Amino acid sequence: MLLLEHQELCVCELTFAIGAAQPSISRHLAYLREVELVNDRREGLWIYYRINPEAPNWVINVLKQTATGVSSTTPFADDLAALTAMPNRPGAPRCA
């Protein structure tokens, strides 16, 4: 849901927002990459993920409708608030 809102996020941003360990986040992102739901790119030390723009329209529609339905509920709203408050986002010299 965070990737729909922010289009592209670094693993460290997802780790901070969700509050899970980096290996766990990376493992789940690897599963999503294997089924071609997300794409990644490397920039220096950071790996950024985004929803695959070539995913079928029905997949994107399901994700958007799901995001609309859960956006104001816990933990989704809390994750978005945490990400918004994150210091040292990847544009800064180093991630949190």
Q: What is the pLDDT of residues 7-59, one digit of tens each?
A: 899 999 999 999 999 999 999 999 999 999 999 999 888 899 999 999 999 99
Q: What is the pTM of this model?
A: 0.84
Residue 70 has pLDDT above 90, yes or no: yes
Q: For the chain, what are the domain ranges?
A: 2-84
φ and ψ at residue 8, rounded to 5 degrees? -150, 135
DSSP annotation of 89: -
Q: Is the bond preceding residue 90 a cis peptide, omega within 30 degrees?
A: no
Q: Which two tokens stand for residue 31?
A: 């599963």
CATH of domain 2-84: 1.10.10.10
Token duo for residue 89: 């986002």
Which of helix, strand or coil describes residue 95?
coil
Average pLDDT over residues 82-89: 89
Decide: 8 and 50 in contact? Cβ < 8 Å.
yes
